[in-house]
């Protein structure tokens, strides 16, 4: 499975993306990865570093799916994205996916974004953005690069209206966006632009990433925790 970054998901074009939330310094956000049948299967840790001109997103995904104590699927990835203003200037990722080793190395070169990856070489315009909920703000069309493969695909973002989402009995108001690209992805942002939940559909199965309490991360600023919702059934809220 890919992450909702390939798992939930975004576009940085000026017509699509606004400025990042005004949160200074480093923030760490930990998400539970929830499968509709196997429950919680891992974590995604996003470390966000902001300066006046640059935002760096370091992501660490660790997934293991077990049955009767036997791990039959494992995925681990480490990704770094660097945004300068509204432009993606660097994307680096290493993924171990069920025994396969994948690397992605991308950088801005003039009026292009150039990617060399295990899956091949890809080139997009300078407005190419990472598939990442942290840079999603508005609706529109634009090129999206997937950190797990390096592929660049035209994507469409719709929605953006507020809706109430229920998490273990607690009602939370969030903006809901739908992203149609390599697959369907959904993102729910709070009023500061922080993803409280995002979802990707892999082979018909919705995989949820739900914000939890990041206080255990050493040296990190504490952000509000969100309780994990009950796992969605197959097809519920498909992206």
Is 8 among the domain residues?
Answer: no
Whether 210 has a pLDDT exceeding 60, the answer reads yes
| Strand extents, DSSP E, 7-99 | 25-35, 39-50, 54-67, 70-84, 87-97
Whether 94 has a pLDDT exceeding 60, the answer reads yes
The stretches of 76-213 forming alpha helices (DSSP H) are: none
The residue-averaged pLDDT of 31-51 equals: 95
Q: What pLDDT sits at residue 230?
A: 36
Task: Tell me the pLDDT tens digit for each residue of 163-186.
Answer: 998 765 678 889 999 999 988 999
Is 232 among the domain residues?
Answer: no
In sequence order, what are the residues at sequence separation of 6 or more whose Cβ sits closer than 8 angstroms to the Cβ of residue 139? 16, 157, 158, 159, 160, 177
Identify the domain containing residue 38 by its residue range: 25-211
Is 229 among the domain residues?
Answer: no
**Which of 56-60, 63-67, 127-131, 170-174 is least confident?**
170-174
Is 98 among the domain residues?
Answer: yes
Whether 55 has a pLDDT exceeding 50, the answer reads yes
In sequence order, what are the residues at sequence separation of 6 or more whose Cβ sits closer than 8 angstroms to the Cβ of residue 218? none
DSSP state of 22: -
Is 220 among the domain residues?
Answer: no
Is 224 among the domain residues?
Answer: no
Nearest to 89, CA basis, from 119, 59, 55, 65: 55
Is 185 among the domain residues?
Answer: yes
Q: What is the domain count for the chain? A: 1
Is 123 among the domain residues?
Answer: yes
Which region, left, alpha or beta, applies to residue 42 given φ > 0 means left and ψ of -120 to 50 means alpha? left
Asked whether 178 and 184 are in contact (CB, 8 A), the reply is yes
């Amino acid at each position: 499975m890919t992450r909702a970054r390939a798992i939930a998901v975004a576009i940085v074009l000026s017509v699509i993306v606004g400025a990042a939330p005004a949160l200074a310094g480093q923030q760490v956000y930990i998400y539970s990865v929830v499968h509709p049948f196997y429950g919680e299967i891992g974590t995604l840790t996003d470390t966000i570093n902001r300066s006046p001109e640059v935002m760096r997103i370091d992501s660490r995904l660790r997934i293991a799916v077990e049955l009767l104590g036997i791990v039959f699927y494992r995925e681990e990835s480490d990704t770094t994205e660097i945004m300068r203003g509204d432009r993606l200037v660097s994307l680096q990722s290493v993924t171990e996916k069920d025994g396969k080793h994948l690397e992605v190395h991308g950088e801005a070169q003039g009026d292009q974004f150039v990617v060399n990856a295990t899956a091949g070489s890809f080139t997009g315009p300078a407005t190419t953005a990472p598939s990442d909920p942290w840079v999603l703000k508005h609706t529109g069309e634009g090129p999206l690069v997937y950190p797990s493969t390096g592929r660049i695909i035209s994507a469409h973002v719709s929605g953006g209206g507020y809706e109430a989402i229920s998490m273990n009995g607690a009602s939370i108001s969030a903006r809901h966006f739908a992203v149609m690209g390599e697959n369907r992805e959904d993102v729910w942002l709070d009023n500061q632009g922080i993803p409280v939940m995002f979802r990707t559909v892999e082979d018909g199965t919705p995989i949820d990433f739900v914000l939890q309490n990041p206080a255990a991360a050493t040296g990190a600023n504490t952000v509000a925790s969100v309780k994990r919702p009950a796992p969605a059934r197959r097809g519920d809220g498909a992206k």
